[in-house]
C-alpha cells in the first residue's frame, strides 16, 4: 500500500492535511479498475463542547419525538377511504420496517462514531459518489420536512387570524430568524427545551388515547356498511388503490427519526447514547402510531366520518373532554412547529459535514472553524427550506407533491444506509462492542423491500401528482451529478475520522479476503490429498488377455467342481 507510513502518521499524529490516493468508483469497495484521484485527508476543527452542554439519551429521544410527532396528527386518516384493514396492515408493516431500520442504524453508530448520518456511512462503505448523493438527498429530505410543516403553520395562522395570505413569507422569515437565534444558545438550555417541547408535542396523543379509549369500539365503528347487501366492508379496492396509493401516508408517523445520527458528536458517550436514544424514540413513536390507528376509526359515528375529518383527533377530544374543534386544532400546532424546528439542528449538522468534505463551495465559509460557526450552516439550511416554501407557495402542484419528493429521497437514503449495514456485517465483518441489531440481515433485507415498494408507490404514478415528484427528483439528481463531476470530484476531502474508518474497514476487508483465500487453499489441499489417497488405494494395474495368462481365479482353484451344464 503506497505511502502507508505517511498516511498512518497523518491519522495518528494529527497532521493537518495530506494528499492520499483514494480509489473512487461506482462499485462497492475498491477495485482494480477504479480511477485514483488525489484526495486530501484534512483535520476538521471541532468545537469543544462543555460536558454540561452535551445531550444524553433522554435528549436524543426527545429530539426524535419532536421531529416526527406532528406527522401523526394530521392528514393520514384519509387513507381509511378503502377500509380499515389495508391501511392498518400497511401502517404496521411500515412501522416494523422503521424499527428494523433504526436497529440497523443503532448498530452502525457502535461501529462508526463520527457525525454524518447516512452520508457518512455511505461515503465509507459505498464510495464517494454515492455518499455525495445520499448526503444531498438527505438534506433535501430534512429541508422539505421543514418546509411542509412551516407551510402548514403559516396557513393555519393566516386562516385563524383572518390575515392576508401574502403575509405567509413574512411568517417564514420570522420563524427562521427565531429558530436560528435560539439554536445558538448553550446546549443545556437547548436540550432541556427540547425535552419540554417533546412533552408538549406528545400531550395531544396522550390525552386522546386515554380519553377516547373508553368510547372506542372498533368492531362496531371500524367498517363501512354496504346498505344494499347489509354487509360489513373492512377492505375494498385493488392493490393499487388500497395499498400503493396510501403507502406514503404510512411514513408520516416515522419519517425523519433517522436524523438522530447527525448529532453524534453533540452527545455524551455517542456509542451508547445515540443507539439508546434512537431505539427509545422509534418505539415511542411506534406505540403512539398503533394506538392512533386503532382508536381514530373506532369512535362514533364511525370510520366514514373519521376519514373526512380535517383534524383527526378532534372527535376523541370532544367525546372525552368536550373540547371544541378550534381548540383541538390549536392543541396540535406545537407539534407542527416542533416538526419544523426539530430538523434545524440535523440539517445544519449535515450541511457542516458536506462543507467539511469540500462538497459545498468554500467561499460560503461553511467549514467548521472550532469557534462555534454553526450559525452559517443554520442560515444555509434555513435558506434552502425558504426556497422550497416559496416554490410550494407559488405552485399548488409542487406544494402537494413536496411531501412525496422528500419521501422518495428518504427511501433512497434508507436503502443506502441499510446496504451499508449489510456490508459491515458481511464484506467488512466489523465487530461491534455495543448494540447489535437482533433482526440481523434478514430483517434488513425485509426493510429494504418495504422501502423499495414505498419508492414504487411514488414512481409508479399511484399518487396522482402527474409525475411532479419524480420529475423534480430527476432534475435534482441530474443537477447534483453534474455539479459533482464538474466541481466536487477532484477537490473533495475526507476528515481524519472518515479516513480512519475507511482505513480500518479496508484492512478488515483485506484480512477477510486473505482468511477466505487461506481457507479455500486449505480446503483444496485437503480435497487433493483425499483424492490422491483414494487413487492409490483403488489403483488397479491393467492386464492383457492375449499374451498373458489371466489372473482370474477359477472354480478348480478353490476345490469346487464345476457342474456340467445339461
Q: pTM above the 0.85 mark?
A: no
Looking up cell 392543541 gives 331
Listed as own residue / partner, the contacts of 191-195 with beta carbons closer than 8 Å and 24 or more positions apart are 191/53, 191/55, 191/56, 191/59, 191/62, 192/59, 194/59, 194/62, 194/63, 194/66, 194/342, 195/58, 195/59, 195/62
355 upstream amide cis, omega within 30 of 0:
no
SS3 48: coil
Q: Where is 282: in which H helix or E strand?
A: helix 270-295
Distance between CA atoms of 176 and 183, rounded to whole angstroms? 11
**Domains annotated on the chain, with CATH:** 4-41 (no CATH), 62-139+187-367+406-491 (1.20.1740.10)
323: left (phi over 0), alpha (psi -120 to 50) or beta: beta
User: In Å, what is the CA distance from 277 to each residue of 49, 190, 546?
Assistant: 19, 17, 89
Decide if 30 contacts 507 (C-beta within 8 A). Answer: no
* Number of neighbours of residue 240 by Cβ within 10 angstroms: 12
- 109, 110, 111, 115: CA torsion to nearest 10: 30
Tell me what pLDDT residue 132 has.
92
Positive or negative: CA dihedral 107, 113, 117, 122:
negative
Distance between CA atoms of 414 and 420, rounded to whole angstroms? 10
Per-residue model confidence as pLDDT tens for the chain (566 residues)? 444 344 433 433 334 444 444 444 434 444 434 444 455 655 555 567 788 889 999 999 999 999 999 999 988 999 999 999 999 999 999 999 999 999 999 988 877 766 667 787 888 888 889 989 999 999 999 999 999 999 999 999 999 998 999 999 999 999 999 999 998 888 889 999 999 999 999 999 999 999 999 999 999 999 998 877 678 899 998 888 889 999 999 999 999 899 998 888 888 888 889 999 999 999 999 999 999 999 999 999 999 999 999 899 999 999 999 999 999 999 999 999 999 999 998 999 899 888 888 888 888 888 776 655 578 889 999 999 999 999 888 888 788 888 888 899 999 999 999 998 998 888 877 666 778 899 999 999 999 999 999 999 999 889 888 888 898 899 999 999 999 999 888 888 876 666 666 656 665 555 666 666 777 777 777 777 777 777 777 765 555 444 444 444 444 444 444 444 44
Amino acid at each position: 500500500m503506497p505511502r502507508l507510513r505517511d498516511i498512518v502518521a497523518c491519522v495518528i499524529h494529527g497532521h493537518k492535511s495530506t494528499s492520499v490516493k483514494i480509489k473512487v468508483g461506482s462499485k462497492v469497495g475498491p477495485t482494480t479498475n477504479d480511477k485514483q484521484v488525489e484526495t486530501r485527508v484534512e483535520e476538521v476543527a471541532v468545537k469543544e463542547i462543555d460536558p454540561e452542554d452535551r445531550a444524553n439519551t433522554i435528549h436524543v429521544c426527545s429530539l426524535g419525538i419532536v421531529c416526527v410527532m406532528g406527522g401523526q396528527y394530521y392528514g393520514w386518516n384519509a387513507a381509511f377511504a378503502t377500509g380499515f384493514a389495508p391501511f392498518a396492515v400497511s401502517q404496521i408493516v411500515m412501522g416494523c420496517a422503521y424499527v428494523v431500520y433504526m436497529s440497523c442504524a443503532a448498530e452502525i453508530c457502535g461501529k462508526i462514531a463520527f457525525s454524518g448520518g447516512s452520508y457518512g456511512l455511505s461515503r465509507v462503505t459505498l464510495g464517494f459518489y454515492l455518499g455525495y448523493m445520499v448526503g444531498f438527498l438527505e438534506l433535501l429530505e430534512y429541508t422539505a420536512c421543514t418546509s411542509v410543516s412551516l407551510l402548514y403553520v403559516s396557513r393555519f395562522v393566516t386562516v385563524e387570524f383572518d390575515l392576508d395570505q401574502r403575509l405567509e413569507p413574512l411568517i417564514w422569515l420570522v420563524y427562521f430568524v427565531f429558530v436560528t437565534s435560539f439554536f445558538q444558545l448553550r446546549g443545556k438550555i437547548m436540550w432541556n427545551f427540547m425535552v419540554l417541547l417533546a412533552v408538549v408535542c406528545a400531550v395531544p396523543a396522550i390525552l386522546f388515547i386515554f380519553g377516547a379509549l373508553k368510547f372506542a369500539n372498533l368492531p362496531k365503528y371500524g367498517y363501512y356498511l354496504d346498505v344494499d347487501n347489509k354487509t360489513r366492508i373492512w377492505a375494498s379496492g385493488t392493490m393499487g388503490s388500497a395499498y400503493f396509493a396510501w403507502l406514503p401516508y404510512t411514513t408520516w408517523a416515522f419519517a425523519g427519526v433517522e436524523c438522530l445520527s447527525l448529532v453524534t458528536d453533540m452527545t455524551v458517550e455517542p456509542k451508547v447514547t445515540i443507539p439508546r436514544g434512537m431505539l427509545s424514540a422509534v418505539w415511542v413513536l411506534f406505540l403512539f402510531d398503533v394506538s392512533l390507528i386503532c382508536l381514530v376509526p373506532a369512535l362514533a359515528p364511525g370510520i366514514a366520518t373519521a376519514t373526512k375529518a380535517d383534524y383527526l383527533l378532534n372527535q376523541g377530544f370532544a367525546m372525552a373532554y368536550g373540547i371544541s374543534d378550534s381548540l383541538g386544532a390549536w392543541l396540535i400546532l406545537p407539534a407542527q412547529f416542533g416538526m419544523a424546528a426539530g430538523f434545524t439542528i440535523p440539517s445544519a449538522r449535515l450541511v457542516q459535514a458536506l462543507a467539511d468534505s469540500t462538497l459545498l463551495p468554500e467561499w460560503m465559509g461553511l467549514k467548521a472553524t472550532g469557534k462555534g460557526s454553526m450559525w452559517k450552516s443554520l442560515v444555509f439550511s434555513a435558506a434552502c427550506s425558504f426556497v422550497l416554501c416559496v416554490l410550494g407557495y407559488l405552485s399548488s402542484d409542487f406544494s402537494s407533491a413536496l411531501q412525496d419528493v422528500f419521501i422518495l429521497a428518504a427511501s433512497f437514503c434508507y436503502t443506502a444506509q441499510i446496504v451499508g449495514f449489510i456490508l459491515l456485517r458481511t464484506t467488512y465483518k466489523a465487530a461491534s462492542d455495543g448494540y447489535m441489531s437482533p433482526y440481523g440481515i434478514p430483517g434488513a433485507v425485509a426493510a429494504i423491500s418495504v422501502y423499495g415498494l414505498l419508492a414504487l408507490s411514488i414512481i409508479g404514478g399511484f399518487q396522482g401528482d402527474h409525475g411532479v415528484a419524480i420529475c423534480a427528483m430527476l432534475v435534482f439528481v441530474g443537477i447534483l451529478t453534474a455539479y459533482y463531476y464538474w466541481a466536487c470530484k477532484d477537490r473533495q476531502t475526507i476528515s481524519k475520522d472518515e479516513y480512519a474508518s475507511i482505513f480500518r474497514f479496508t484492512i478488515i476487508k483485506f484480512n477477510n479476503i486473505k482468511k477466505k483465500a487461506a481457507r479455500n487453499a486449505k480446503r483444496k489441499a485437503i480435497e487433493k490429498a483425499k483424492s490422491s489417497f483414494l487413487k492409490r488405494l483403488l489403483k488397479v494395474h491393467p492386464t492383457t488377455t492375449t499374451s498373458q495368462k489371466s489372473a482370474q481365479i477359477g472354480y478348480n482353484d478353490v476345490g469346487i467342481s464345476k457342474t456340467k451344464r445339461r
